[in-house]
Amino acid sequence: MYISEEHPNILQFDIFRDSVGILDFVTTSLPPDDDSGDFNIGFAGGDGCVENRVKLALAFGLTPENFVFQTQIHKTNYHFATREDAGAGFYMKQNAIPDNDILITDQPGLCLITRSADCVPILMYAPKQKVIAAIHSGREGCRLGAAPKAAQILHHKYGADFNDILVGIGPHICKKCYTVDKDCADNYLSREYFAPNIVEPADNGQFTIDMKKTIISDLMHIGIPLGNIEHSELCTKHHAPSFYSARNGDDARFCAGIMLL
């Protein structure tokens, strides 16, 4: 990832850098151009969050109607965003796309948003078909295969070749920081796709879960080349306070967004 040339507190994916006709970004815990204040764009922060979403829109010359937010419930439900969804969830959670973790569109001007604080924000782009996706994949999303499901939809519905799909995996809690108990680890392994070494023993009878390796393995399993997948090395927990981390007790959220211009 690289730091946005226009906005010092916004990150962008190298994998999309040469793609003409899309905008992508990942926010941090700081406003786009200002090192004071916070930048919670989640739903649990009242008016401050709405002000921050307005700041985000202004940073990219967008309006609230460009944005599509989803509520995110740790499943693999998907939604094809259309003009009717313009502005969904920008001002209030009640208007966001409900019970959804995968947003997909082939329509320009709709900025698909996935919110995160330790969960994995994932952006996808199929350049030939001009289709994008924003995916929220926490532990359950990784167990259930939210990312490969999104890629399958780009393939089956839009005809995207897996060799062409570009993927950006944003900042999230790293394997070292993500320890769980045995029941949780066992549950994580009860998954459809096989991915090696995604759960490993840690201290005190705990286990680590490697969500990044899970996602990369799953995407490669269905045919997306490793070279098409960029993954951030930033950890939301141990790189606090640059990001928000649920494990650090934050109920604030940063976000990743992608839009066809």
Residue 120 binds Zn ion (CB under 5 A): no
Judged by CB under 5 A, does residue 252 bind Zn ion? no
Considering the complex, state which of residue 198 and residue 235 has its C-beta at the smaller distance from Zn ion.
235
Size of the site for Zn ion (CB under 5 A): 5
Q: Does 238 bind Zn ion (CB under 5 A)?
A: yes
Q: How far apart are CA 31 and CA 227, in angstroms?
A: 31
- Binding of residue 237 to Zn ion (CB under 5 A): yes
For Zn ion, which stretch binds (CB under 5 A), given 108-116, 145-153, 170-178, 243-251? 170-178
Q: Is 130 in the site for Zn ion (CB under 5 A)?
A: no
What pairs with residue 257 in β-bridges? 25, 113
CB-facing half-sphere around the CA of 213: CA atoms within 13 A: 14
112, 113, 117, 177: which one binds Zn ion (CB under 5 A): 177
| Distance between CA atoms of residues 259 and 261, nearest Å | 6
- d(Cα 67, Cα 113) in Å, to the nearest integer? 7
Taking CB under 5 A as the criterion, the residue among 97, 133, 174, 256 binding Zn ion is 174
- Among 68, 81, 235, 255, contact with Zn ion (rule: CB under 5 A): 235
- Binding residues vs Zn ion (CB under 5 A): 174, 177, 235, 237-238
